[in-house]
Amino acid sequence: QNQPCREFHIVVLGAGGVGKSCLTAQFVHHEWIESYDPTIEDSYRTQVSIDGRQVVLEILDTAGTDQFVAMRDLYMKTGQGFLLVFSITSKSSLAELVNLREEIIRIKDDESVPIVIAGNKADLEDQRAVERAKAFSLSQRWEAPYYETSARTKTNVDEVFVDLCRQMLRRDDT
């Protein structure tokens, strides 16, 4: 059965420095680059095969600096799936996700919008500041899956994007 190619908009959100650009680059270009301009906001187009279905993704890697706050409403409206990234080395970066999720739900007026939570920099276990259990309980409350990722070691990078795609496909089917 030949199903039409779907296209989805993904928005990558989180505090500055958590690894949004590194995760996006690992997924789209399969490369690790140590450093990105933290103020650059860019979108990337890529095609993936999910359970035998072709999906085109438009991924917006947000910068979250104040000058972009006005744009936030717009991309939150356009976004169909949200990758919420924090760093396991920073408690405040997890707290930031609470605000971002509230904003998404308010703007989309939808409690069940596809979300995946990524606790990035999992390779820095010796600098861990957020217990896995703490992030996990938040993810259960939000009914959003939680993954610990590392853009550096390419751990769970494809998995977070694929999970988000599956959620968006499921929602599209119903």
**Residues of this chain that bind Mg ion (CB under 5 A):** 20-21
Q: Report, in Å, the least distance between residue 60 CB and ligand GDP.
A: 12
Residue nearest Mg ion by beta-carbon distance: 21
93 near ligand GDP, rule: CB under 6 A: no
Residue nearest ligand GDP by beta-carbon distance: 19
* Cβ-based nearer residue to ligand GDP, 87 or 169: 87
Residues 43 and 121: their CA atoms lie apart, in Å, by 22
Q: Report, in Å, the least distance between residue 145 CB and ligand GDP.
A: 18
Interface residue with ligand GDP among 151, 160, 162, 165 (CB under 6 A) is 151
What is the 3 state secondary structure string of the chain? CCCCCEEEEEEEEECCCCCHHHHHHHHHHCCCCCCCCCCCCEEEEEEEEECCEEEEEEEEECCCCHHHHHHHHHHHHHCCEEEEEEECCCHHHHHHHHHHHHHHHHHHCCCCCCEEEEEECCCCHHHCCCCHHHHHHHHHHHCCCEEECECCCCECHHHHHHHHHHHHHHHHHC
Interface residue with ligand GDP among 20, 60, 86, 97 (CB under 6 A) is 20
Interface residue with ligand GDP among 38, 49, 65, 110 (CB under 6 A) is 38
* Cβ-based nearer residue to ligand GDP, 3 or 153: 153
| Chain residues that interact with ligand GDP, rule: CB under 6 A | 14, 16-22, 34-36, 38, 120-121, 123-124, 150-152
